[in-house]
Amino acid sequence: MLKEAAQKLEEVFSEKGFIRVITHIDADGISSGAIIAQLLKEKNQTFWLSFVKQLDDSFIKSLFTDLKECNCKAIIFLDLGSNKLNELESLKTKVFIVDHHQLENSEQDETESALSNVVFVNPLLESEQEAEKLSASGLSYLVAKNLNLEKKFAQVSLLGMIGDLQDKNISKDNKLILDDAKEAGMLLKRGLVVFSSLRPIHKSIEYSDLNVDSNLILRETGINIKKEDGTYTTLLDLDEQQTSGLLTSILLSRQNTSQDQDIIGNIYIVNIANQKWDARELATILNACGRLGYASVALSLLLDSRDSIKKIDEIYTRYKEQIVKGLNYARGNKIERDGYVTINAKDNIKDTMIGTIVSILASSLVYPDQTVLVGLAYREDKIKVSARVVRNNNNNNNHSNNKINLYLLLDSVIKKIGGEAGGHENAAGCLIDKEKEQDFLEALEEELKAIIPLPKR
């Protein structure tokens, strides 16, 4: 699949015309865009890259006009397109889709035979068991690697993997990407997973969700906040014995130990734009830029522009302010039922931020395993819906063998009321007309009643 896609793309390079690249605004989409942009630059291709919140029908219609007015020899969709195969095939130009999202059931069986002008790269085409084990940026990197892209962009690919939460269970292909990233200079260390490992250690622990007294923990383990040269100690400064002592002290101090395994993991330090970054923090920064309309700034950083770093810092500060504002609203306006939570934010949370707010709440340890969280936010005459499901890795819960697939859930709802759905098993979204707001909420509850025991009202 990957080699064939690379060969087909290389054939396009020899033709006249420019290449259109369309990618998503999250960390995975931006990372994918940077990888393909670098590849096209190295192959001396003329291209135009743009970011979209969602690949909706109105945007696809605009592409027909673009194709009539310019000499576009191919369109590449990144982190998008799996649920729009028939529409994209009708563009009547060479189309490349590099994505890992779920396909519509009706399309999955007929994909390879029906799409004559589409090169489709998606792990789901090979095996259902491989779903979501490669991010779009991972797929983009592996395609580009077949065309001799330098290995340092494996570090960029890693940001998409982390942004899509694929770093807890590393697949075989992701392991190959990690090996390339390490060869290109990425530092990998096992330790305490907090945000961020490059910041002062007391602040990293304080601002995490560990619920411990950082100063007390550090005193107990004999770790000084500052080093002899006056600079602050970070997690990376700790030796193996100090790291072990810190982890032991934190585990003994935590009141809620249901997810203790989640505090220990890999720390990834990547080198981007000649600067070291904690990959988890940089993935969040990419998301911040995308959500606030500055995806192009993030792209320039991944393509080694140091001039973008100051702007990145300003955007990230604004993003954190938006998160605090959004969480405050959500906590005071959520509706909780047995098995699910809805947050109808209307105009009070940006449509590009509602997914982030719901994700934070889903990982807050407040809700039981398999609880579904659904957020709604206005986008002009539409409503952006984002859904997440709590996965607390507690194998003793009653739902462990009855996992909820959010994409299928939302797809079922919009088939009743109209709209467009996309996403994964654990994180999905849809776009509906604003006048369908109440219809959506009623249809959602009806669907949830089939999979979650809800009280009669």
pLDDT digits (tens, 9 = 90+) for 334-387: 999 888 999 999 999 999 999 999 998 988 778 888 899 999 999 999 999 999
pLDDT grade for 393, boundaries at 50, 70 and 90: low
- CA distances 215 to 124, 161, 192, 205, 208, Å, are 47, 33, 16, 9, 13
**Which range in 110-124, 355-369, 431-445 is most confidently predicted, on average pLDDT?**
431-445
**Distance of alpha carbon 337 from the chain centroid:** 27
Confidence of residue 457 (pLDDT cuts 50, 70, 90): very low
Q: Which amino acid is at 24?
A: H
Instruction: Convert the pLDDT of each residue in 150-199 to its tens digit.
Output: 999 999 999 998 888 777 777 788 889 999 999 999 999 888 887 788 88
Q: Answer whether residue 113 shows pLDDT above 80.
A: no
Q: Looking at residue 42, what is its pLDDT?
A: 95
Burial track 61-85 (b if 16+ CB lie within 10 A, e otherwise): eebeeeeeeeebbbbbbbbbbbbbb
Q: What is the mean pLDDT of the chain?
A: 86
Q: What is the CATH number of domain 334-449?
A: 3.10.310.40
Distance CA 382, CA 405 (A): 24
Per-residue exposure over 127-160, b if at least 16 CB sit within 10 Å of its own CB, e if not: eeebbbbbbbbbbbbbbbbbeebebbbbbbbbbb
CATH of 2-155+166-185, one of 3.90.1640.30, 2.60.120.10, 3.90.1200.10, 2.40.50.220: 3.90.1640.30
The residue type found at 275 is Q
pLDDT band at 45 (very low <50, low <70, confident <90, very high): very high
DSSP category for residue 236: G
Interatomic CA distance for residues 270 and 182, integer angstroms: 9
Q: Boundaries of CATH 3.10.310.40 in the chain? A: 334-449
Of 122-136, 187-201, 266-280, the poorest mean pLDDT is in: 122-136
- Of the chain, the end-to-end C-alpha distance in Å amounts to 50
Task: Report d(CA 268, CA 181) in Å as an integer.
Answer: 10
**Residue 104's pLDDT band (cuts 50, 70, 90):** low
* Residue 397: pLDDT band with limits 50, 70, 90: very low
> Within the chain, which residue ranges are assigned CATH 3.90.1640.30?
2-155+166-185
Q: Mark out the alpha helices in 74-221 (DSSP H runs).
A: 85-89, 105-108, 111-114, 136-145, 153-163, 172-183, 201-206, 214-221
The confidence band for 453, taking pLDDT boundaries of 50, 70 and 90, is: low
Per-residue confidence (pLDDT) for residue 254, from 0 to 100: 66
Residue 207 pLDDT class (50, 70, 90 cuts): confident
Q: Is the predicted pLDDT of residue 130 greater than 50, yes or no? A: no
116: pLDDT confidence band, cut at 50, 70 and 90? confident
- Looking at residue 78, its pLDDT comes to 96
Query: CB–CB of 383/432 below 8 Å?
Result: yes
Instruction: Look up residue 71 and give its amino acid.
Output: N
In the structure, what pLDDT confidence band is assigned to residue 114 with cuts at 50, 70 and 90? low
Q: Name which of 343, 292, 337 is nearest 314 in CA terms.
A: 292
Sheet holding 420-423, edge to edge: 335-337, 340-346, 372-379, 382-389, 427-433, 420-423
**Residue (of 190, 149, 154, 153) closest to 173 by Cα position:** 154
Among 167-181, 255-269, 271-285, 417-431, the least confident range = 255-269
The reported pLDDT for the residue numbered 402 is 59
pLDDT at 395: 42
106 pLDDT higher than 50: no
Please report the pLDDT score of residue 269 as a whole number. 94
Q: In this prediction, what percent of the chain has a pLDDT beyond 70?
A: 90
Per-residue pLDDT at 398: 40
In this predicted structure, what is the pLDDT of residue 194?
78
